[in-house]
Amino acid sequence: MAKSRNNLLGVGGQRKKLSRADQQGAGSARVADRKAAEDKKQELVRKMRERAETQAATTAEPSGEQDASPSPAQS
């Protein structure tokens, strides 16, 4: 059946078919997978923030000591 602009009957996604275990209330591994993925994402974000903080701290440190002392090769 062709869909017209004014008739929105049937528009939308299909419902996911539940497995037999899901129908019986046994739960799904999908919930555990989502939790594991969320945990990995949080860990990655934490590591990225730590790296950004350490890089910001190293670039903010004054490096005047290295430039003030002449190296032996320049003498």
SS (H, E, C) 21-36: HHHCCCCCHHHHHHHH
- 26-66 tens-digit pLDDT: 666 777 888 899 999 999 999 999 999 999 988 887 655 55
Task: For the full predicted model, state whether its pTM sits above 0.85.
Answer: no
- Is 73 inside any structural domain? no
What is residue 33's predicted lDDT score, i.e. its pLDDT? 83
- Is 49 inside any structural domain? yes
Rounded to an integer, what distance in angstroms lies between the CA atom of residue 1 and that of residue 62? 72
Q: Could you give the C-alpha distances from 49 to 32, 37, 54, in angstroms and in order?
A: 26, 18, 9
Range of the domain at 34: 27-58
- Is 44 inside any structural domain? yes
Q: What is the DSSP letter of 75?
A: -
Rounded to an integer, what distance in angstroms lies between the CA atom of residue 67 and that of residue 53? 25
The segment with the largest mean pLDDT, out of 13-17, 34-38, 39-43, 68-72, is 39-43
